[in-house]
Structure 1
Amino acid sequence: MLIQGARALLSSGAIFPLYIYPGDDCSAWSTLFDSIPASPNLPFTLIINPASGPGSNSVPDTTYQACITQALSLGSNVNTVGYVLTGYGGRASADVLQDINTYMDWPVAYRPSGIFLDETAATAEYLDQYTSYANQVRADDSSGSIVILNPGINVADPGFFSIADFIVTAEAFYDDFSFPDSLIINATEPAAKQIVILHDAPSTLPTALIDDLTSAGIASTFITSMPQGSAYNTTPPYWESYCAELTSSQS
Structure 2
Amino acid sequence: MFSLRTVFAALLLCQTFLSAQASIAAIFPFYIYPDDGCTAWTTVFDSITANPDLLFYIVINPNSGPDDFDSNYQACVPELLALGNNVKILGYVDTGNGKRASFDVLDDIATYMGFPTAYRPSGIFFDDTSATSKFLSNYTAYATQVIFNPGENVADTSFFSIADFIVTAEDFYDDFSFPSSLVINSANPVGQQIVIIHDAPTTLPTSLMEEMATAGIAATFITSVDNSNAYNTTPPYWEQECAELTSLQ
Match of 2:35 in 1: 23
Closer, same or farther: CA 11–219 of 1 in aligned 2, 3 Å:
same
Match of 1:194 in 2: 193
Residues 9, 77 of structure 1: 8 Å contact kept: no
Deviating runs (4+, > 2 A) in structure 1?
A: none
Letter in 1 for 2:246: T
Q: Using the alignment, how far apart are the partners of 1:128 and 1:81 within structure 2?
A: 24
Q: Using the alignment, how far apart are the partners of 2:220 and 2:55 within structure 1?
A: 11
Letter in 2 for 1:130: Y
Q: What value does the CA root-mean-square deviation take over the aligned residues?
A: 1.6
State the Cα distance separating 1:128 from its structure 2 match. Answer: 2.1
Please list, as runs of the form range in 1=range in 2, the aligned pairs for 1:95-106 lying within 5 A after superposition. 95-106=104-115
Q: Using the alignment, how far apart are the partners of 1:122 and 1:205 within structure 2?
A: 30
Which of residues 105, 120, 129 is equivalent to 2:138?
Answer: 129
Residues 24, 248 of structure 2: 8 Å contact kept: no
Which of residues 82, 88, 99 is equivalent to 1:79?
Answer: 88
Match of 1:53 in 2: 65
Q: Normalized against structure 1, the TM-score is what?
A: 0.89
Residues 194, 220 of structure 2: 8 Å contact kept: yes
Q: Using the alignment, how far apart are the partners of 1:9 and 1:30 within structure 2?
A: 26
Which of residues 67, 70, 78 is equivalent to 1:69?
Answer: 78
Please list, as runs of the form range in 1=range in 2, the aligned pairs for 1:84-233 lying within 5 A after superposition. 84-132=93-141, 134-135=142-143, 138=144, 147-233=146-232
Closer, same or farther: CA 10–75 of 1 in aligned 2, 3 Å:
farther
Look up the SS of the partner of 1:158 in the other structure: coil
Residues 167, 196 of structure 2: 8 Å contact kept: yes
Q: Using the alignment, how far apart are the partners of 2:140 and 2:71 within structure 1?
A: 33
Stretch moving more, 101-110 or 121-130 = 121-130
User: Could you report, residue by residue, the CA deviation over 1:55-83 in whole angstroms, capped at 9, with x for unpaired residues?
Assistant: 16xxx211101100000000110001100
Look up the SS of the partner of 1:30 in the other structure: helix
Q: Percent identity?
A: 63
State the Cα distance separating 1:162 from its structure 2 match. Answer: 0.2
Are residues 1:43 and 2:42 paired? no
State the Cα distance separating 1:249 from its structure 2 match. Answer: 2.4
Residues 10, 42 of structure 1: 8 Å contact kept: no
State the Cα distance separating 1:130 from its structure 2 match. Answer: 2.7
Look up the SS of the partner of 2:158 in the other structure: helix
State the Cα distance separating 1:150 from its structure 2 match. Answer: 0.4
Q: Which 5+ residue runs of structure 1 have no aligned equivalent?
A: 139-145
Residues 10, 41 of structure 1: 8 Å contact kept: no
Look up the SS of the partner of 2:140 in the other structure: helix
User: Could you report, residue by residue, the CA deviation over 1:18-66 in whole angstroms, capped at 9, with x for unpaired residues?
Assistant: 100011211111000000021111100000001110016xxx2111011
Letter in 2 for 1:179: F
Number of residues of Structure 1 aligned to a counterpart in Structure 2: 232
Look up the SS of the partner of 1:89 in the other structure: coil
Match of 2:13 in 1: none
Q: Normalized against structure 2, the TM-score is what?
A: 0.90
Residues 147, 165 of structure 1: 8 Å contact kept: yes
Stretch moving more, 217-226 or 241-250 = 241-250
Q: Which 5+ residue runs of structure 2 have no aligned equivalent?
A: 1-16
Closer, same or farther: CA 164–10 of 1 in aligned 2, 3 Å:
closer
